[in-house]
């Protein structure tokens, strides 16, 4: 047989390539195994597995916004943490889990709240936090709160503590509720932009900034009623917690200029004189006080303590067994897919369907924190909840800080709707905005012309005046959507559309006011909603809570199976990136945001969208 040199070379090269490929795969697999071992050690190693000693203080140093749901994916979280300055977020459910475990833990004697860097959180969320603090106190344990500065939200949480301390250079700033909006009618006229509004609802004031130079009488009436109720509730809770006379907080605010003058400009002295705090201490003085009260730890050279994320990692959730499935609907509602911080109609409907088809999930809780958005996206979610009930699984809605307009729409297919007294809800109304810029066209000398087969082919062209026939079509559609809204709400609340219309018309209510008007079943907490769902599903004590969320990567799933939350996936404490729009830097950014929203309404694939949004978040 003749020798074939090329064949031998080919076989040799093939063997060499196979060897290199096998070496590469082995090396990559070893690296991945090393990565898994490292992560496991980071989560469970060291202090993560060391038993807690007696008289340990749980230190909750919460940094960033308190949220119902992470505003970024784990991948974004990891990338953001590399930058070093990204703002963190803290899950409310993690805080509640830690507080409830601490209340029952015999080794935890004290809970320390360091609130300097805690931001955000709606009123209902802050009340949930405060209720968790109350349960710790009811278990006979001290809760000490400290901050350099207390804004209105931080102080509401701190007021629940056994003792409240503040830095001598700090302040307690309780401002009240209310806001001044920007109105753009004259500005848009100067630019040559006309905003065509179609709506149903006397109190549906979402679009007023684009068509007026100030609030309508109806909007002013509704806002006054809402803000006064929230202020009364806030001051009443603070006064109860701090054992102050009724009206003490309002008197503190009213007399602040005179008190500041008398105190030489010291906010801290004024706060102490008004019994809003129990003492003025620096952070090192708080540390010395806790060392004296507790047990000195030679390793840390401080009082014996355990941190928030460390303590959280010690209490992984049950991975299997009968459960209450929780779907969080936090953010604006869109029609299609949604990521963290956005309620996608299709995405959330798919999650509800997933929970319905999961044999281990026996009941569903929808946790709502949304101002609404797309009517169509809202209906996709409501329908899946309706099908879930029809399949025999109980559905309970837990309203968080905001469940208005579309946020109320998605709450209408439940066995029970539970709201916090501070929840902002209602806003049963619909609108559509169609901006046109024909005056801009004229100023710039732009001409538009062409041929269409029907009048509808180019009925809404932003560079031409709105065709009145198209306006009529849109208004008819908006009327129909409002009729759907009120009829579905009437069926859910076992009343008539006329009765719903009386409390609808875009009017916004607190949870307590909504309860008086039959829009919710009862007032209560998120925990009440979980217990109600478990009871309806005949689950016993110690039931599992399963958060039904977007699909996760293999690494995330591995970490979750080991009991780690997303916040623990990167060195236990990671920094999460927030949407830049959430915290405008100043008036210019605020105007840019408002204009961006107006533009956003025209970017849909459809010629117009029926919008159920309340624009009713608190500053």
- Residue 198 forms beta bridges with which residues? 432
Instruction: Decide: helix, strand or coil at residue 295.
Output: coil
Two tokens, residue 192: 């040559």
395 vs 335, higher pLDDT = 395
**Per-residue confidence (pLDDT) for residue 605, from 0 to 100:** 46
Question: What confidence category does residue 22 fall into, taking pLDDT thresholds of 50, 70 and 90?
Answer: confident
Is 80 exceeded by the pLDDT of residue 28?
no
DSSP string, 153-204: HHHHHHTTSSEEEEEEEEEE----S-------HHHHHHHT-EEEEEEE-TT-
For 521, other C-beta atoms within 10 Å of its C-beta total 18
Contacts of 539 (CB under 8 A, 6+ apart): 322, 324, 362, 363
**Per-residue confidence (pLDDT) for residue 4, from 0 to 100:** 53
What is the 8-class DSSP label of residue 47?
A: G
Burial of 107 (0-12, 13-18, 19+ CB in 10 A): middle
34 vs 227, higher pLDDT = 227
d(C-alpha 102, C-alpha 104), whole Å: 5
**Per-residue confidence (pLDDT) for residue 32, from 0 to 100:** 72
What topology does CATH give the domain 323-570+586-613? 2-enoyl-CoA Hydratase; Chain A, domain 1 (3.90.226)
Q: What is the sign, positive or negative, of the torsion defined by CA atoms of 589, 595, 597, 600?
A: negative
Residues taking part in catalysis: 204, 405
Superfamily covering domain 51-179+235-313: 2-enoyl-CoA Hydratase; Chain A, domain 1 (3.90.226.10)
Looking at 256-265, 339-348, 582-591, 602-611, which range is the least confident one?
582-591
Residue 468: in which H helix or E strand, if any? helix 468-493
pLDDT above 90 coverage of the chain, percent: 56
Strands 508-510 and 424-426: antiparallel
Largest CA distance in the chain: 112
- In Å, how far are 337, 482, 613 from 430, measured between CA atoms? 22, 6, 8
Alpha-carbon radius of gyration of the chain:
28
Question: What confidence category does residue 490 fall into, taking pLDDT thresholds of 50, 70 and 90?
Answer: very high
- What value, to the nearest 5°, has the Cα angle with vertex 205 and ends 201 and 209? 145
Do 323-570+586-613 and 51-179+235-313 have the same topology in CATH?
Answer: yes
Residue range 377-394, pLDDT digits in tens: 999 999 999 999 999 999
**Per-residue confidence (pLDDT) for residue 415, from 0 to 100:** 97
Q: Is the pTM of this model over 0.75?
A: yes
Two tokens, residue 583: 């915290």
Question: What confidence category does residue 586 fall into, taking pLDDT thresholds of 50, 70 and 90?
Answer: low
Question: What confidence category does residue 8 fall into, taking pLDDT thresholds of 50, 70 and 90?
Answer: low
**Per-residue confidence (pLDDT) for residue 83, from 0 to 100:** 43
Specify whether the CB–CB gap between 123 and 401 falls below 8 A.
yes
Is 70 exceeded by the pLDDT of residue 62?
yes
Spans of all domains in the chain: 51-179+235-313, 323-570+586-613
289 vs 552, higher pLDDT = 289
Is 80 exceeded by the pLDDT of residue 308?
yes
What is the signed CA dihedral for 585, 586, 587, 589, rounded to 10 degrees?
-20
């Amino acid at each position: 047989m003749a020798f074939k040199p090329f064949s031998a070379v080919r076989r040799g090269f093939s063997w060499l390539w196979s060897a290199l490929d096998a070496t590469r795969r082995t090396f990559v697999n070893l690296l991945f195994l090393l990565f898994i071992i490292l992560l496991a050690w980071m989560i469970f190693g060291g202090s993560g597995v060391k038993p807690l000693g007696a008289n340990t203080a749980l230190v909750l140093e919460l940094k960033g916004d308190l949220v119902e749901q992470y505003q970024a994916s784990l991948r974004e979280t990891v990338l953001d943490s590399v930058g070093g300055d990204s703002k963190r977020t803290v899950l409310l459910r993690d805080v509640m889990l830690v507080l409830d475990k601490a209340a029952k833990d015999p080794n935890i004697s004290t809970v320390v709240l360091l609130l300097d860097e805690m931001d955000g959180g709606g009123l209902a969320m802050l009340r949930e936090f405060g209720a968790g603090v109350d349960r710790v106190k009811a278990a006979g344990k001290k809760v000490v709160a400290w901050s350099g500065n207390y804004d209105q939200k931080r102080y509401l949480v701190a007021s629940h503590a056994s003792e409240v301390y503040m830095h001598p250079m700090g302040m307690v700033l309780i401002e009240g509720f209310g806001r001044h909006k920007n109105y753009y009618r004259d500005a848009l006229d100067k630019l040559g932009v006309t905003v065509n509004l179609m709506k149903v609802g006397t109190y549906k004031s979402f679009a007023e900034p684009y068509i007026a130079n100030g609030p309508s009488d109806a909007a002013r009436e509704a806002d006054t009623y809402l803000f006064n109720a929230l202020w009364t509730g806030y001051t009443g809770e603070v006064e109860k917690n701090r054992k102050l006379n009724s009206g003490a907080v309002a008197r503190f605010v009213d007399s602040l200029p005179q008190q500041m003058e008398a105190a030489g400009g010291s906010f801290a002295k004024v706060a102490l004189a008004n019994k809003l705090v129990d003492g003025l201490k620096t952070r090192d003085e708080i540390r010395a006080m806790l060392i004296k009260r507790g047990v000195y730890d030679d390793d840390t050279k401080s009082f014996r303590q355990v941190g928030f994320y460390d303590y959280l990692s010690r209490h992984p959730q049950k991975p299997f067994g009968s459960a209450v499935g929780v779907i969080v609907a936090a953010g604006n509602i869109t029609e299609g897919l949604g990521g963290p911080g956005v309620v996608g109609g299709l995405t959330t409907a798919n999650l509800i369907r997933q929970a319905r088809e999961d044999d281990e999930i026996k009941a569903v809780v929808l946790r709502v924190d949304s101002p609404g958005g797309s009517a169509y996206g809202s209906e996709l979610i409501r329908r899946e909840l309706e099908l879930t009930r029809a399949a025999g699984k109980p559905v309970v809605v837990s309203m968080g800080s905001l469940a208005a307009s579309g946020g109320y729409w998605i709450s209408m297919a439940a066995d029970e709707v539970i709201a916090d007294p501070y929840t902002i809800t209602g806003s049963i109304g619909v609108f559509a905005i169609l901006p046109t810029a024909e005056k801009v066209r004229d100023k710039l000398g732009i001409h538009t012309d062409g041929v269409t087969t029907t009048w509808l082919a180019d009925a809404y062209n932003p560079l031409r005046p709105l065709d009145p026939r198209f306006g009529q079509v849109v208004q008819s559609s908006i009327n129909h959507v409002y009729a759907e809204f009120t009829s579905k709400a009437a069926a859910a609340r076992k009343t008539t559309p006329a009765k719903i219309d009386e409390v609808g018309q875009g009017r916004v209510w607190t949870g307590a006011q909504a309860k008086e008007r039959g829009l919710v079943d009862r007032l209560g907490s998120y925990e009440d909603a979980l217990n109600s769902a478990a009871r309806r599903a005949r689950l016993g004590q110690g039931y599992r809570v399963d958060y039904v969320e977007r699909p996760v990567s293999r690494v995330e799933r591995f970490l979750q199976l080991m009991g780690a939350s997303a916040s623990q996936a990167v060195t236990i404490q990671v920094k999460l990136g927030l949407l830049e729009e959430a915290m405008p830097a100043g008036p210019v950014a605020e105007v840019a945001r408002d204009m961006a929203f107006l533009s956003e309404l025209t970017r849909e694939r459809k010629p117009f969208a029926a919008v159920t949004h309340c624009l009713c978040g608190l500053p």
